[in-house]
Amino acid sequence: MHEMGIAMQVVEIAAASIPEHLKNCRVQGVYLKIGKLSSVIPDSLRFCFDIVSKDSAIAGAKLYIEEIPVTAQCKSCDNHWTITGPAFSCPQCSSGKIELISGQELNISSIEIEDDSICEHSSVIA
């Protein structure tokens, strides 16, 4: 299950992305874009994220996943279409010169942090 490794990386990146002045604010959500060809099972990733984030700087954050469909472009006729099954040629001109445009993504698109005005701005005095 490679979703555990991905979840660990997402938590690490999200925690490192919090600006210094917002370190005491709670991360409410992490938004991902995952392509249908990325070999990631969204439910497994959510499960792993919940486990990994529990004792981290983003504890309590919810993982939101937008699944990106597989789309292609024909290099011969410039046709664009969404692939729903095996595709070896363009449905418009039958050319075999096709290129995948989307469907392999695995990106953090945004991180939602609670409103700065309600964060606890406590400072530690050493």
Domain coordinates in residue numbering, the chain: 3-69+102-114
- In this prediction, residue 110 carries a pLDDT of 94
pTM as predicted: 0.81
Beta strands in the chain (DSSP E): 27-35, 62-68, 71-74, 80-82, 98-102, 106-113
- In this prediction, residue 114 carries a pLDDT of 83
If DSSP codes are grouped into helix, strand and coil, which group holds residue 73?
strand
CATH class of 3-69+102-114: alpha beta
- In this prediction, residue 18 carries a pLDDT of 86
Tokens 């439910």, residue? 43
Q: Point out the residues of the chain with pLDDT beneath 70.
A: 1, 116-126
CA 77 from centre of chain: 32
- In this prediction, residue 119 carries a pLDDT of 63
- In this prediction, residue 21 carries a pLDDT of 83
